[in-house]
Structure formats: C-alpha cells, structure tokens
Amino acid sequence: MSSALIYLPMGLGSGATVLMFAGAGGGSMGYGASGLMGVSTIGMMLMMLGRGAHQRKKELRSDRRDYLRYLTQVRRQVRRAAHQQRAAVEWNHPQPSQLWSVAMGPRLWERRAGHDDFAEVRIGVGVQRSALRLVPPQTPPVEDLEPLCASALRRFMRAYQTVTDVPTVVHLPGFAAVEVVGEEAGVVGLSRAMLAQLTALHAPEELRIAILADSSRMADWTWAKWLPHTGNPWRRDAAGAVRLFAEDYPGLVDVLGERLLARPSFTAGVSASPNEPFLVIVCDGVPLPDDSPLVMGGLRNAVLLDVDGANALDGSQLLRLSVQTEQVTVQQAGQPDQVCRVDSLSGIRAEALSRLLAPYRTGGVAVDASEPLAAEFDLAGLLGIGDLSGYDVHALWRSPAWSDLRVPIGIGPEGDIVSLDLRESAQGGNGPHGVLIGATGSGKSELLRTLVVALAVTHSSETLNFVLTDFKGGATFLGMEKLPHTSAMITNLADELVLVDRMQDALQGEMIRRQKLLRQAGVSSRREYEAARAGGAPLESMPTLLIVVDEFSELLSSKPDFMELFVTIGRLGRSLGVHLLLASQRLGEGRIHQLESHLSYRIALRTFSASESRSVIGSGAAHELPSSPGHGYIKLGTSDLGRFKAGYVSGPCVTAAAPTAPAEARREIATFDIVPFTSADRGAPAVTPPPVDVPASSAPSLMAVLIERLRDQGPQAREVWLPPLSESPTLSQILPGIGGEAGRGMTARGWPALGRLRVPVGVVDRPFDQMRDLLVADLSSAAGHVGIVGAPHSGKSSLARTLLIALALTHTPVEVQFYCLDFGGGTLAGLAELPHVGSNANRLDPDRVRRTVAELETLLERREQAFADHGIESMSDWRKARQDGSVDDPYGDVFLVVDGVATVRQDFEDLEPKLSELASRGLSYGIHLVLTAVRWSEVRPRLRDLIGTRFELRLGDPHESELRSRDAATVPAQPGRGLTVDALHFLAAVPRADAAALVVDAATALKCLVEDIADAWPGPPAPPVRLLPDLLPAATLPPPEGNLRLALGWDEERLEPVWHDFAKSPHLLIFGDTETGKTNLVRLIAEAVLRRYQRSEARMVLVDPRVTLYQCVPAEYRVGYAADIDAVTKLVNDTVITMRSRLPGPEVTPEQLRRQDWWSGPRIFFLVDDYDLVSGGMSGPLEPLVELLAKGADIGLHLVVARSSSGGSRAMMDRALRRIWELACPGLLFSCPREEGKFLGEAIPRRLPPGRAQLVTRRGTQLLQTAHTPSTELETTP
C-alpha cells in the first residue's frame, strides 16, 4: 500500500504531462492537465514528509534501546563494585557483634601504630561515595538532549554515585576530643561498640584505655576491667596491674601520672609507640577542671571520649556524635553533617569480649611473627647486650662478631639482622662512602644516632674516630661529644656560615696530615700504614675517620664550593681511611651527581617524592614506605634493594633488676584468699613484685646510658675541630707568669721576649693545622708601625689597649713610652696612670695634641743628630748604648698612639703630614705609630704603606678590606674578631690580667691592673709632654737685640723663643678676634722699641682708635697719635713726606746703601691697632705708604698693623695689607672663627686661647704663645 502511495503522485504527474501535449491548442483539457500537475506535486511532497517522520521515530526507538541496554550493563558492574566495596570496608571494620570472631582469630590486634587505619573506629553504617568513579559523558545543551535517555542517565548517576550500608568510621587520632550526646542508651551502646573495636584490633602496648566515670555511672563500664588495655603497666596492686579507672579528675591524674601530664599539646599525625601509646580517656559524668589540658586543646596521642557532653570542650579539634533513636549524626567544625545508622553493643556482649581478651598479652618485639617490620626494638637487642651499665666495653670492642667497621642497623622483612659494613668493596665491605635520605619524621636522625653509637660500642676509639656535623640545629648528635671517639662535633652551621669555611679548612687539613703521615712512612694507604705499625714501626696511630654530615643538601645550597671537598674525600678517602656519610631530608637536583661514582651504599627512608627516591636508590619504593619512622630501603653497590626497619637508641633504657643472692630453699604451705576482681585498687600486693621499669619520662635514654658507659674507656680522639673563637682570652692567659720582679716592676716573667718589642695580643685560629697560635705583634723590625682598622664597636680601642698593656708588662717605663691621642671616646684614658704613659690627649685638648706631636718631632731631630754624633747605625745599637750609659736619653722606644685617625684629618689637618713624616723617618730612631681607624681609606696612602703590622677587625663594608672581601665578610660581629694579613681569623685578648671567671667589669679590671703596674714600678715615669703656658710673662723672654730683633713668644714645637727681626722683615700683620691678644702684642712691640732704642734712635706713630696704647708710649717717643680716620690720614701724609726724603738718590753710593748712612733721624715704627675701625674698602688710610713699604728696612720705616679677623678675606684687599704680605713679611693669626676661611697664607683659622697665635710665613705655620705685658705705663730709656 505504501508503495502504491509513492507511485500514485508520479502517475498523476505523467498523465497531466500527456494531456498537456495532447491539447496543445488550449481549452479545458489544458486546464485539467495543469490541475493534475499541481495535485501530483503536492502529493509527492506530502508523501515524502510522512515517510521521513516515520524513519526518525524508528531510529529514535532503536537508539533508546541501545542506550538503556548500555546502562543495564554498567549498572551490573557498578552494583558488583559497590558490593565489593561494602564487603572490603566491613572486613576492615566488622560489626560489633562479630568482634568475638576477630579476637579468636589471627586478626587479633592486627593494627599497628604505623598503619593508616590505626585507631579508626566504626560508628554505624551509612551512605559512602562509590569507590568506582562514574564520569558522565559530555552532553550537548539541554534543549538538544533526548529526554528519556537524559532522565535515565540522571537517575542512574543519583542512584549509583554512593553506596549504601557501608560502615562509617572515625579516625580518632585526628581529634583531641569526641563528644557523644543524645539518648543515654544509644550513647552508652555506641561508646561500648567503639571501645570494643579498639581493644579487639589494637595491641595494649600501643593503645590504652582509661575510664573516668562518676560512681553512679561506673556500672556501665565495669566490663572494661578485664581488658588488658585498661591495666596500668607501671603500677600493681593485690589483683595485678592497677586498672586505669577513676571517679574524679585527681584520681585519673594519680593512675596515669606523668604519662598524662608530661605529654605535649595535641598534634595531629604523630604516630603512637610503646613509649607513648595512644590513650583513649572515657569521661562519663565527671566535670573536668578548666585548666586541664584535656579541655584546653588536648594532648598528643590522646583523645577524650566524653559520653555525656558535660564538659565545654575546644571546638576546633572536636568531633560531635549526636545519637537519636537509631541514627547518629556526625558533626565537625567546617564540615557538613553526616547521618548514618548507629552501631551499638550490649553490656553482656562487651563483657564477653573483654573476658575473651583478658588472658592475652603481647610477647617479644612483634605481635605477629609474620610482621617483623612492625616490631619496636633497640640497639641493645641488636647487639645482644643485656646489662647496659655493666657490660665489658673492651671485650665487645675485641669481639669478632662486630668488627672491621661492620655494625647492625636494623632487621629485615624475614626478621634477620641488617648490617652495614663500611669497609671498601675490596675488603668485602659496602663502603667507604654512602648517602642517607629521609623526609621529616622518617627517622633519619635516629638512624644516624643508631649507626654512630653502634660503631662506638663495637669499635675502640683507637681504631675509629668520628667527625659529626649537623648543618641545622644540633639535636641529632647531642651528647655524643662525650664519646672518646669524637674528633669533632660541629653544629648550628646554618646560623654561622663562617663555620662552614672553618670546617672545610679543618677537614682539608686532616686530609693533608694523613697524606704526610703516609708519605713519611713510605706507604700508599692506611691499610699498609697500620700493617707497618702492627709490625713494630714507630708510627703514631691513624684511626679510621668517619665523617657524618647531616643536612648536607642545605650545606651545599649555602656553600656550593664545599662539593669540591666532598669529591676530594670521595676520591682520596679510600686510601686515607676517611669515610663519608651524607644525610639530608631532600636530595636537591644536581646535588649528588658529582659524587655518584664515589657512593658505595645508599639508604632511603621515606622520601617526599618518588623522584627523590629514584635519585637515591633507583626506585620510587621509598616514597611508598609507611609513615612511622625507621622504615627504609638500603642499596649496597649494585645489589638489589633491601627493605629494613632501623633500631633506635633514643628510647628510655629499661634498667635490669640487680641480682640478688638466692634464698635458702624451704617448704611451707602457701595461704591465699580469693577476692573479687574489681576496677578499684585492691591495695598493696602481699608479695613484693619484681622490680619495675623506671618510668619513661624519667629514665635516661639508651644512647645516654651507652655514651656514659663508653666515657673515658679509650684514648681520646685527636681533635680535628677546635672550638671556634668565642670567648676573648685575658692577658694573664697569653702572657705567662705575671708578677713583680726587682728592677722591672710588674712583668710577665715567663715571656721569653722580655724587652724585645715582641708581645702577644690575642689568639689566631688555624683550623687547617688544627691548632691555635698566639697573635704576636713583632714591633722590633720593619713592621714597627701598627694599624688597627674595624667598624664601630668592633674592638679597635680595646685591641690598642691590649697592645699597650702587653708592652707595659714586658717592658719597663725606661724601655718604652706611650704618648696617646685619644680620639676614640676616651677609651685610652684608663691607661693614663701607667708609668709608661707620658701624655694622653683628647680632641677637646688641641694644645696637648699638637704638643705631643711636636715633642716627638723634636725627639726625632735630636736622635738624628745623636746618631750622627755617636756613630750609631741602628736602633738596636742605640738601645745597647743606653743600657751601658754611653748615651744619656730619657726616652726609649716611643709609641705615638692615635685612636681614631680620622679625627686628625677633620680637626687637626696640619698634623697629617707630620704623622707621615714621623712614620717614614721615625722607625729607624725608635719612634712607632699605633693607629686605629674605621676604614683603611681614613689613613692616607703614604702613611698606610708604612704600616707593617696590621690588624683588620670586622669592617662595615667588606669590600673596603685590604684583604679579600670574601674573607672579610666572614668575620663575625664579635668585638675583637678580625683577620691577620694571612687571612687567618684571630680574637684579640682583653686588657685584664685577672681570672676570667671573676665577675668584675672590664673597666674595673683594667683600673686594677694599671694601678698594680704603677705601684710595682720604683723608677721614674715616662717624660711628660711639655705644654705652652696659658700666660707667658714678657720678663721670661730674652731682651730685644740688634736692629730690633725681639722675641714674640714661645714656639709650640720646641718651646723656644720665636724671634721677629725687623731688619729682615720690616713689617708685621696681626689678625685676631676680640680679646685674643692683638693689642697686647702691639704693646709688646712698643715696649721692645722703648727698651731697645733711645728717643733719638726710634720714634713711634700710634693709630689707636680705642685709646689703649696712649699711656703705654711716653710723649717724647710719640711722633704722632690718631684715634679717628681724619687724624690717621694726616699722620700718614706727614709720614710719607718724611720718608720720601730718605729715599736714596742717584748720588748715594752702594757702600752707603749697605751701611744705610745716607739719611739721619730716628726709625719710625708706625703701630696701628684696630685698623678695621679706621679703614674700609680696598683703599684704606694707609695706602699712601704702599710705595714706601718695599724700602722700609732701608729708610727706617716699620709698619705694624693689627685688626679684627672679621672679614679677613675682604681686609686683605686693602692695598697696604696686601703689599705687606707680598713683601714676604710674616703675619700673626690669633683665635678666629673657622668660618672665615683661609685669608692669610695657608693658615686655617681656629679657636685658640688668649695670647696663642699662628705665625704665618712663606715657609709655613707655627703655633706660639705670645708674651704678656701688663697694660701699665712703660719705663723709658733716657
């Protein structure tokens, strides 16, 4: 029929076509044909549409059948997986009512502390996410989905993403407290079910249960008294082990004791152990104190099971179980609630289970012989040592069982002992070098301790020594420094990286030392060396050296250069008897590839990643090890991996009972009573029980007991590592025999170089040579000048004091003298009372500072002359000449000490060239410089090159070091620490001679020492520095002479008169501030004129604006007097007229010029005081005299001008003053502000006391004290 319908429109179309051709002329036949054509076309369209819809429905039904059939197949797979999942979980967590079968089978106490499901308990059954992951296919938009299939998929996903009736478990170690609330019957039943699971699946050595219940509710828990988990292994009563039952909190503390209170606060993820078993505390109806650690956050490896919710517990680590009817709701902070069908266990079944478990106890180290790797065992068990405190140490050292560097480290999967032989492969060993990798908590540090202690117990310190290094902290090898085997114990390197370089030097030095011993013995290896020694050759012992480096990866991160030493040890250690064990938590990329060929054994405990495991042992197996510590793999050479469990030495030592004498055998009838077995304490036992173990909290560790037993049992190992320089020595420790001696005072009688300028000032660290030396300053040769440079508070001044005190204790005040410039804050003031100190000047006493330098300059010139006069060639000859009396000199070797040389440049710039001159010339004549500075650049290059003895302390910027900046950066921030010129670290001694243990501050100790030295010296002290007087009377100076050659005052340098000769320098300039001595000097000149000349020979013209000189010059000596500018101008003009008449004409012969007799009349002294009051600008009232000044000495004109220093630079623009300076006439500069700047030659203005002035000439500047004349009328010469 359908086929007919398909062909019918086609037939109608064909007929319509025939009719159209037949009736081509038109008419009704044409219209009919057209109609038939249209009808056929529409029919064909409708037929095609109908057929397409039918086909689509057919295909849709087929697709639906296929997809639903596919879902049916997947449903069967998912149901099978759900069944398997449910069965697997139920096997791990059986129903409470079936626990009796577990207790009677091999699964009893199967869970160990290292298992992931340790302390997991079932609380009921509920919905759990399916272990089979269902991933829906990628689907198009919702509007394009087939509704029936999409609905089937959604129902399928909802139905099978979870599995019903699967046991719901709680991981108790993850919580500090579990609160069970709700209906009382359900709460107690659930709690019983939880405890039953714990007791059936966990051994009592690793899990304990304590019951804290009110007396009214104790009946619900008496069934637990039969459990071995509730017995107290540390206390016994008449019925056996005391039950861990209490009715109040004090009672709980009493039965648990320190094992409860001594635990740290709660930390999730810490594994339990026999030393710290997991503790479940059931609390029913007993309020806990607010300060109880159970309430305040919990305890480690402990959980509080609060079955009535009466206590306010911390919610951050709290799990709440709410029981209602047959359901329990699990509530945890930050997690959605979970509801399941609650488990319950009746009291009858619980007591039956507890009675079933009552006879069982664990024995040996393993619960199941099939699981030896789950055992806990110590090193004593591996070595077979019974009595740790009394075993024969030397017998075990000689025992062949464990010798030749072979020791046990643990047990294997079959229970066999796993040992490590550190000998090289040629001797049948696994060594000599190896690597140990273990993540945090894997037991790496414990394994290192076990290995080191095992080697010490089985090998004598004469044959084996240790170098123990811990880059971080120091807990790994804590206490092992007491072993006689320990050559070095180096810890906390991360905090002091400078110690890493020191350790590198020490180990390199040990390698070189061993090579020298082999070379001297004529052998090539330690084996041959020891064979020759055993044959009677007189050789010192060369024990095997085991170098253990913990956290070596971080060491190489901080100091990559250390890898070169590791490679050297790996290459040469085999023949030198040096073994290397590298340990770390991580193995950084590229950290071990250079050592690959030298590592013979590899140990991998649990690692952070599989890649790290593969890098070490070639397999990722170490990443899959249990989380409990001690599990690992060992790979020896090219052999297969070996699994092992390491022993431990940090656990408490179980002290064996002391042997007692056997009692006399006798027969008697034993009587006994049958008493009820209850949870309460039954009182003291009738028979004394065997001695119990010392509690773990107070018992010493096994390692501590073994170390103490080995202490002093063998020769002490040679020190490879001396303690770092930490405590400064005192002078009494480095200078032997300090005491009084006739003729020398207090001296170091034991020092071999007394009086030779060689003194110790500290100690030098020589880690390469494994020794310390004295830091000696040898000032007897070309290195007689000393430079001490260091940052602030680095100990510069203290080292300078130490040097001076050491010189004072080895030389008398006749042999050495000190002159100190104390610019370092007064630190040298404490030495002022030394008889060796001639002067101590600070920055506030500039006169003494300059006089000190001047005194030494004078001494230098005097000695140069004396050397020439006596034909002395060297300072040593001079010292001998002084001793035999052929030379009379109060000075010996003189030390100029400048503490803070930068102050010289800042405040005493004129002294810098003088110091350089003393340094360059003085050493040959016994003058030494001791300089301190913050940086070397503060010392001028010329002076710095002359310093032969250099002490470089810690610098502020290591790049400023005269040594390598890398070495300078390693100097620690400790006063007195520094570097020698050989880049060796030193520590300066402190300037005190008392015992270091005395509690006396450094200042007091120094004062006492100085007083002792001063009191003990019977002779004269060092010559003091002579100073310029503050007031120099004119009468003390020599009288004027010649053509007015007068003494102006005393020179600071030589303390000799300073003369001014008006015949050679006819004019004089005087500048100064007010009240500094200008007028006094003018008055002094006037007085000299009056004393030297008669009225007919000299007259004076006075310009005196302040009228201070009028009464000083008699009228008969005054040619003129002016007090204002007009009078000054008149006087100048009159003087010019008079002086011009004296100018020589062409008729004057050269002989007359020489005799100056072509003119007659008195000399004119034109004295001007306070010139600044009568002048201004560039042209002053004295300008007319300018043309005559050059001929002043020839025509008898002498101009003396005194004015204020204010505006000195501007004043020197005055033509008269400038002309005087151009004529090389001197000038005197009294005190004036530094701000004025240089205006008179190179003289630097500075503050000076009244009467003190700088005499400025073309040759330089010298300081002098001008003579003082009273301001009274002077006597005249008739």
Does the annotation list 1277 as a binding residue?
Answer: no
Take residue 1213 and report the two structure tokens written for it: 């623009």
Take residue 355 and report the two structure tokens written for it: 């009675």
Does the annotation list 231 as a binding residue?
Answer: no
The amino acid that residue 702 corresponds to is L
The answer, yes or no, to whether the previous bond of 432 is cis (omega within 30 of 0) is yes
The residue with tokens 């967590």 is: 93
Does the annotation list 30 as a binding residue?
Answer: no
Residues 758/777, Cβ–Cβ less than 8 Å: yes
Does the annotation list 482 as a binding residue?
Answer: no
Does the annotation list 434 as a binding residue?
Answer: no
Q: List phi, psi (to 5°) of 465.
A: -125, 160
Note if 551 is an active site residue: yes
Question: What SS3 class is residue 148?
Answer: helix
Q: Which of 212, 222, 351 is nearest to 284 (CA)?
A: 212
Does the annotation list 440 as a binding residue?
Answer: yes
Q: CA 1024, 1026, 1027, 1029: dihedral to nearest 10 degrees?
A: 120
Secondary structure of 963-1020 as H, E, C letters: CCHHHHCCCCCCCCEEECCCCCEEEECECCCCCCCCCCCHHHHHHHHHHHHHHHCCCC
User: Cα–Cα distance between 179 and 307 in angstroms, integer?
Assistant: 6
Does the annotation list 362 as a binding residue?
Answer: no
Does the annotation list 792 as a binding residue?
Answer: yes
Give strand pairing partners of 417.
Answer: 411
Does the annotation list 1024 as a binding residue?
Answer: no
Residues 6+ apart with CB under 8 A from 105: none
The residue with tokens 């025999």 is: 737
Q: Beta strands of 130-266 (E only): which ranges?
A: 162-171, 177-182, 207-213, 231-237, 240-243, 245-246
Does the annotation list 638 as a binding residue?
Answer: no
User: Cα–Cα distance between 755 and 816 in angstroms, integer?
Assistant: 9
Angle at 694 between CA 693 and CA 695, to 5 degrees: 110
- 253, 1006, 1073, 1170, 1205 from 1212: Cα distances, Å: 99, 54, 16, 15, 10
User: Cα–Cα distance between 612 and 622 in angstroms, integer?
Assistant: 9
Burial of 472 (0-12, 13-18, 19+ CB in 10 A): middle
Residues 813/807, Cβ–Cβ less than 8 Å: no
Does the annotation list 914 as a binding residue?
Answer: no
Does the annotation list 11 as a binding residue?
Answer: no
Take residue 1199 and report the two structure tokens written for it: 């101009």
- 586, 1093, 1276 from 1038: Cα distances, Å: 90, 16, 18
Residues 815/836, Cβ–Cβ less than 8 Å: no
Does the annotation list 1206 as a binding residue?
Answer: no
Which of 276, 446, 551, 612 is the catalytic position?
Answer: 551
Does the annotation list 1207 as a binding residue?
Answer: no
Does the annotation list 441 as a binding residue?
Answer: yes
The sign of the dihedral angle between the CA atoms of 715, 721, 727, 728 is positive
Q: Beta strands of 91-216 (E only): which ranges?
A: 120-129, 162-171, 177-182, 207-213
- Render the burial of 506-544: b for 16+ CB within 10 Å, e for the rest: bbbbbbebbeebbeebebeebbebbeebeeeeebeebbb
Give strand pairing partners of 893.
Answer: 816
Residues 950/787, Cβ–Cβ less than 8 Å: yes
Does the annotation list 443 as a binding residue?
Answer: yes
Does the annotation list 791 as a binding residue?
Answer: yes
Residues 780/757, Cβ–Cβ less than 8 Å: yes
- 491, 779, 835, 870 from 757: Cα distances, Å: 40, 5, 17, 24
User: Cα–Cα distance between 817 and 1007 in angstroms, integer?
Assistant: 19
Q: CA 568, 573, 574, 578: dihedral to nearest 10 degrees?
A: -160
Residues 1250/1231, Cβ–Cβ less than 8 Å: yes
Binding site: which residues? 438-445, 790-797, 1072-1079
**Catalytic residue set:** 551
Binding site for ATP: which residues? 438-445, 790-797, 1072-1079
